[in-house]
Amino acid sequence: MGPHTAQQILEYLSEKPDSTVRQISHALRVTPADIRYHLSSLLKQNLVTLSSTTKNGQRGRPARTYVISPNIKPNNILLLAGAALSLLLNDSTVSQEYNLQRLSNQLFPPKPTPPGSFTPKIIQLVNRLNLSGYAARWEARPNGPCIIFTNCPYRQLLSQFPQLCEMDRLILQNHLETKITLEQHIHPNHSSPFTCRFSVTTQQKKKP
């Protein structure tokens, strides 16, 4: 499967509107389940819409067809972002870790954190992440909190730049000021795993 399945679907629909899941799956050689997953995301982003046209599906059932949303205009944002990241991450004069740290601080500048317990800090951070499209939440666990992303705003760039997962980890670590470990990340092309999970190591109080 190609590195940017969602982009491939958009390109296919721009050439062949009123296509079904089965037709797209066959053309891109991607499973129907993965096509449905990406179409669901594209529908939520208003990048594609359901067509009024239906076609005969399996066993004679009418199959839904999809078209590019009429409000989409061509752009080269992904190309520009990819070029900028290539320049930044391939800069041999400084370490990649240093540039990822710069990038994380640029995207999420540090802000004063609420006083008191650790919980308000996580709540504040999750709220900031959700303003940037991460669809984040957190869970309390016996061995420490877990922060979960159900969306990756940079998913279309992940195949080319897996370092963006490290950038996300640094964003969490910078704001919570404690060790963050990436447990799993959203797969850039498949529907599973469909979440990013980060474990949070809470600060241990020193015994007197």
Backbone phi, psi, residue 51, to 5°: -85, 155
* Residue 20, phi then psi, degrees to nearest 5: -95, 170
> Within 10 A of 201 (CB to CB), how many other CB atoms are there?
14
- How confident is the model at residue 207, as a pLDDT? 41
Neighbours of 80 (CB within 10 A): 10
Encoded amino acid at 162, one letter: P
Q: What is the pLDDT of residue 205?
A: 40
Compute the distance between CA of residue 181 and CA of residue 44 in angstroms, rounded to an integer: 30
Give the chain's residues under pLDDT 50: 1-3, 204-208
Task: Give the amino acid at 62.
Answer: P
Q: Where are the alpha helices (DSSP H) in the chain?
A: 5-15, 21-28, 32-44, 77-89, 96-107, 118-131, 155-158, 164-176
Q: Which two tokens stand for residue 108?
A: 């999420």
| pLDDT value, residue 20 | 93
The pLDDT assigned to 14 comes to 86
**Residue 114 Cα to chain centre, angstroms:** 27
pLDDT for 15 equals 87
Distance CA 125, CA 104 (A): 13
> What is the structure's pLDDT at 27?
94
Instruction: Pull the structure tokens for residue 6.
Output: 């969602």
Domains of the chain from N-terminus onward: 5-68 (1.10.10.10), 94-200 (no CATH)
What own/partner pairs with CB < 8 Å and gap ≥ 24 does 124-127 have? 125/172, 125/175, 125/176
Residue in 145, 207, 156 with CA at minimum distance from that of residue 186: 156
Total-model pTM:
0.64
At position 178, the amino acid (one-letter code) is: T
Structure tokens at 164: 């963006």
CB 46 within 8 A of CB 69: yes
Tokens 């089965």 belong to 22
In this prediction, residue 59 carries a pLDDT of: 60
